[in-house]
Amino acid sequence: MARSTVPTGNDCALSIGQEALWFLHALAPGSSAYNIAGAVTLDFDVDVAALEAAVLATVSGNSMLNCLFRSTRAGPRRLPGAAAPYSSVFEVIRADGDAAAHPPHPAALEASRRPFRLEDEAPVRVSLVRPDTGRDVLVVTAHHIALDNVSHFRLCGELLAAYARRDGDTGAGGAGRPDQGAGYPAFVRQEQDFLRSPQGEAARRHWRQVLQAVPHDPPLTGDLPRPAGYRFTGDQIELPVPAGLLDRAAALAAGARTTPFAVLFAVFQLLLYSLSGERLRLMGYPVTVRPGAEHRTATGYYVNTLPFAARVEPDESFLELLRRTGVELLSGLVHRAYPFALMPHLAGRPREADRAGLISVLFVMTEEDVRELDRALPPGHRVRMYPLPQQQGQFDLTLQLARRGPDTAVILKYNTSLYTPGAARAVAERYLRLLTAAAGGTLPARLGELAPAPARAPENLKN
């Protein structure tokens, strides 16, 4: 593909979060740690030509998907339309056996983990895995620089809706539909305006105070020795959340006048404390930064990570920890628009080569309901969620609560250079036990009793 002229106007500028992802891409171009992937089993006979036409129409009509990313003298830029003719965005993969029977099939995994060449191909790829027997699997993969998780799930729905229109011989496809990526340049400009405003300065002061409250962020200790240089390699453990547990957690939140998220997040703090005995560390959690109704259905990278100074006092109760957590989370949300990529400068400490970055542990809540995808299809056409590991190796540990319609799972993503599968499973199981105890009111009155034995020694508690 011939390289196109690189424009440098404001419409092609990246947000600060995107610039950080571009830097990480340049640092490890062969990594798939920042691939976002999702897959569904298609419980209907697929018209491959109609599906390909739907994919091409959807991608070509969205300026966040039909683009390339390039470095220029003015900085990294996005080139809308430059990925044409989009030869990389759709593929059919033949697979042995029944891909849907024992997920994830190696062919689906390979499709989701293949790195993107952002300089030369669109940041999205749709793979139709066609097995010898059984139903087809549709894998939709994108680089995080173009999409957040909300945008990715909506993209899956848009692809299925475009397929339904073409499969029904309406010929509509993506023609005449609004460009869902057109609003992103305005978001980039709003971000720059915010940073120059008094609100931006107030946010900068807030996050400096949060980060400097943790002068030393202790490294997590897995059952493997930490390498000298950080490795973006990972895997995950998934466990079902017992029925009724989240309802009991919500009741606990209501009694404490806080949110269910605060309960789940406070238990994660307690988990890390119980593993290490460290009372103070940095954690992170992603939040949406969509600035208004006009961006609610937009495609783009509308997400920011917020740091949290996690503090567990040995003599406090869980209720005290929970209430404090709720207040501090709310305070952070007030300043959510300050880009995480600028925060390492506020921390005042150098980057350590053996760490992922400023944040080593992340807590995430996601909600995806396959019934929303079914509504994009005509009667008699159904899809089923297809489990597909993704976004692994970004951090030492990421704990994700994934709501999928009536079911919820705990997904522990762990760095495989630090944890073996058995150790990671033990961590995920401990989180569920702690959540069960918190929701049932059976945690110790003093949280210090949950610390590892060496950390409970009197001389350590005095420090």
Per-residue pLDDT of 384-401, as tens digits, reads: 989 888 777 789 999 999
- Checking if the pLDDT of 69 tops 80, the result is yes
Stated length of the chain: 463
- Pick the residue with more confidence: 204 or 292? 204
- What mean pLDDT value characterizes the chain? 90
Q: Do domains 10-182 and 201-369+392-461 have the same CATH topology?
A: yes
Determine the average pLDDT of the residues in 413-423. Answer: 96
| Euclidean distance between CA atoms 434 and 422, whole angstroms | 18
Position 5 scores a pLDDT of: 45
| Euclidean distance between CA atoms 122 and 80, whole angstroms | 10
- Pick the residue with more confidence: 21 or 350? 21
Q: Quick one: DSSP state of residue 340? A: G
- Checking if the pLDDT of 174 tops 60, the result is no
Report, at the CATH architecture level, how domain 201-369+392-461 is classified: 2-Layer Sandwich (3.30)
CATH topology of domain 10-182: Chloramphenicol Acetyltransferase (3.30.559)
| Euclidean distance between CA atoms 140 and 155, whole angstroms | 9
Q: Are 93 and 107 within 8 A, CB to CB?
A: yes
| Euclidean distance between CA atoms 352 and 361, whole angstroms | 15
Position 326 scores a pLDDT of: 97
Q: Are 456 and 277 within 8 A, CB to CB?
A: yes
Tens-digit pLDDT profile for residues 191-200: 999 999 999 9
| Euclidean distance between CA atoms 153 and 155, whole angstroms | 5
Residue 72's Cα: distance from chain center in Å? 28
Q: Which helix (H) or strand (E) holds 320?
A: helix 318-334
Position 350 scores a pLDDT of: 83
Domain ranges of the chain: 10-182, 201-369+392-461
- Pick the residue with more confidence: 316 or 103? 316
State the maximum Cα–Cα separation within the chain, in Å, rounded to a whole number.
Answer: 76
Position 177 scores a pLDDT of: 65
Inter-CA distances, 322 with 89, 165, 434, 448, Å = 46, 49, 13, 15
Tens-digit pLDDT profile for residues 258-300: 999 999 999 999 999 999 999 999 999 999 999 877 778 889 9
Determine the average pLDDT of the residues in 80-88. Answer: 92
Inter-CA distances, 52 with 39, 55, 164, Å = 16, 5, 12
